[in-house]
Structure 1
Amino acid sequence: MNDPTGTLFSTLTARGGRMIVFRGNADPVFSADDLRAHWRDLAADSGGSAALSGWARLFLVPGMTHCGGGPALDDFDPLTAIEAWVERGEAPPHLLARGAAFPGRSRPACPYPQEARFGGGDPEAAESFSCATPVP
């Protein structure tokens, strides 16, 4: 695809394709706000958010800059997640994120528009959080 704003992925979806996109929310090169707007357009052209989440997930990583780094939990494994999705039909409910900036801390990186919400327990452990859609 050569169109950076294209939202028609019918060939990909017709072939059972899956897509995981991740971006640093603090990326100084590309705007996370622009990506969120594009994702909303993609959802609209794909039959809605529920239909889109059947084949694509967007993960915005708080504090992560361009391609990693920054004060973030930027160590996660999208390759294993997409492999499980394509080969076994297991869509990623989140990505487990860790990072050198916060030793000993883990969080679920949640698919947009969801965010990690603390539910009690160890505030440093991913298991103490769940992914939830923010209330406007």
Structure 2
Amino acid sequence: MQEELNKPIDNNKLVKIRKAIIEFADEKDGIKDGLINDPTTLEISDELLYQAGLDKDEIRTLRKIWQGPTDQNGKSLWFSIEPTAPLDVLASNKGPLPIPVDYLKYWIKQDPNFDWKTLGYNGFENYLNESIELFRPIMGTDNPDLSQFKKLGGKMIIWHGLDDRHIAPRGTIQYYNNVLKIMGGKDYTDNFIKFYLAPGVDHCNGGDGPDKINGFESLVNWVEKKEVPTRLIAKKIENGQVTIQRPLCQYPEKTIYNGKGDTNNLENFVCQ
């Protein structure tokens, strides 16, 4: 972003943009609760961004961020965060987020004095390729062939917050879909792997959505009591009180409100 504008977008603008996007899409799922059920389907107009205070250069820059990194031919290299995710990680006069900068310095280049600004136009593509070559054999987690895991009787529950500001949920969606493709489809994989998306939830926890999720409890019950999970239960707890409660449906199903009754009553939602 700094390369595009020579400065970060003002954080107050980014906060206002996110608020405008959530207000625009909030009631599409039938509930006005500040949570977007599926931000991956949103289409954000330039007009909305103009009204939120961005100029044309800032809009172009933000769209490039939402698009995610590409190679010199415009081919996607990886995913970006969703438009409902907090954008404050992009706004810093001190430079970009320290995590990727330090990873580049200490892991890839192994030079604490390396300046990320010397990467050049194709820098991210080279950075990504170097990272894959060096560390995929050691800690890569993208192998969708889970046949040995299944053979050994393993069970897996994956969930990802849709407002994660650090790790793009579409990457996890792609991984799960790759597992289905490699392992014979959902009917075959359903007896050892389940995947859920959590609207409004940030990186592992936090955010506006219900982030206390009974995933581990469900996994234990699946393994030890043979209780196969269908829906997970997500709660937002503030000052010891449950303020939001929602079921999480197994991907690709979505949690749909039936339009009647208390929105914290789990029985008023269906998976479809």
Q: Is TM > 0.5 for Structure 1 vs Structure 2?
A: yes
Aligned partner of 1:56 in structure 2 is 193
1:94 matched to 2:234? The reply is no
The worse-fitting range, judged by mean Cα deviation, of 92-101 and 11-20 is 92-101
Shift, 1:59, TM fit: 1.3
| Number of the residue aligned with 2:204 | 67
List gaps (5 residues or longer) in structure 1.
Answer: none
Matched, 1:28 2:139: no
1:5 aligns with 2:142: yes
Deviation at 1:124, TM superposition (A): 2.4
Q: Distance in 1 between matches of 2:268 and 2:141?
A: 37
Q: Secondary structure at the match of 1:104?
A: strand
Q: Secondary structure at the match of 1:106?
A: strand
> TM-score scaled by structure 2?
0.46
Out of 19, 24, 40, the residue aligned to residue 156 of structure 2 is 19
Uncovered stretches (5+) of structure 2, i.e. residues with no partner: 1-137
CA distance in 1 between partners of 2:147 and 2:140 (Å): 14
Question: Aligned residue for 1:122?
Answer: 262
SS at match of 1:36: helix
Residue-pair matches, total: 132
Does structure 1 conserve the Cα–Cα contact (< 8 Å) formed by 2:237 and 2:244? no
Q: C-alpha deviations, 1:31-65, integer Å up to 9, x for none?
A: 11121111111111111012122111111111111
Contact in 2 for aligned 1:114/1:131 (Cα 8 Å): yes
- Alpha-carbon distance in 1 for matches of 2:162, 2:265: 21
Task: Supply the AA of the counterpart residue of 1:59.
Answer: Y
> C-alpha root-mean-square deviation of aligned residues, in Å?
1.8
* Deviation, structure 1 residue 100: 3.0
C-alpha distance after superposition, 1:105-136 (max 9, x if no partner):
3110111111111123322211211211xxxx
Match of 2:56 in 1: none
Q: Which has the higher contact order (CA 8 A, sep 6+)?
A: 1
Task: Return the TM-score normalized by structure 1.
Answer: 0.88
Structure 1 residue 87 displacement after superposition:
1.4
Match of 1:84 among 221, 226, 250: 221
The structure having more radius of gyration, on CA atoms, is 2
- Cα deviations by residue, 1:66-100 (Å, 9 ceiling, x for unpaired): 01000011112111101111112221111111103
**How big is the shift at 1:103?**
4.2
**Matched residue type, 2:230:** P
Any conservation in 1 of the 2:212–2:234 contact (CA below 8 Å)? yes
- What is the aligned-residue identity percentage? 26
CA distance in 1, matches of 2:140, 2:147: 14
